Amino acid sequence: MAVGPAFLPVLLLAVSAIVMNVAWYWHLKQPSLGMLAAIGLAWGIALFEYCLAVPANRIGIAHWSLAELKTIQEVLSLAAFVLVAWVLFGQTPGPSQLVGFALIAGGAFMIFRSPFG
């Protein structure tokens, strides 16, 4: 299956979002780490994330507006957060979070559909 040029940045941003959420939260599973070690670990993981996000945005700007790229990144980051929270911490979103996520999805819809011009 060939990946179209407009989809490649989305794929890179999806992987980037998972990696970044791991960088943000995985250290919480390692309470014995000192603060500086946790920061170093998170930064090391985030460096890899940047190696995905920067090309995604450089490639993506040929196909998406800046607002669309940012919206894609935010929606994927939220989806990755739900995945990481579930896999690493066994936490699933409750009803209030689901409503909040739906509102964010509505905002994303507005960015891509531009009903107001």
- Please write the tens of the pLDDT for every residue from 34-91: 999 999 999 999 999 999 999 999 999 999 999 999 999 999 999 999 999 999 999 9
Would you state the pLDDT for residue 2? 61
What phi and psi, each to the nearest 5 degrees, are found at residue 104? -65, -40
Given a cut of 80, whether residue 116 has pLDDT beyond it is: no
3 within a domain of the structure (yes/no): no
Tokens of 20: 């970044």
39 within a domain of the structure (yes/no): yes
2 within a domain of the structure (yes/no): no
37 within a domain of the structure (yes/no): yes
Q: Give the Å distances, CA to CA, from 1 to 4, 9, 117.
A: 9, 16, 35
Q: Is the Cα dihedral 89, 95, 98, 99 positive or negative?
A: negative
Give the total number of structural domains in the chain: 1
95 within a domain of the structure (yes/no): yes
pTM: 0.87
For the stretch 77-114, pLDDT in tens is: 999 999 999 999 999 999 999 999 999 999 998 888 87
Domain that holds residue 86: 8-113
Continuous H helices in 26-114: 35-60, 66-89, 95-113
From its phi and psi, is residue 91 left (phi > 0), alpha (psi between -120 and 50) or beta? beta
21 within a domain of the structure (yes/no): yes
1 within a domain of the structure (yes/no): no
3-state secondary structure (DSSP) of residue 56: helix
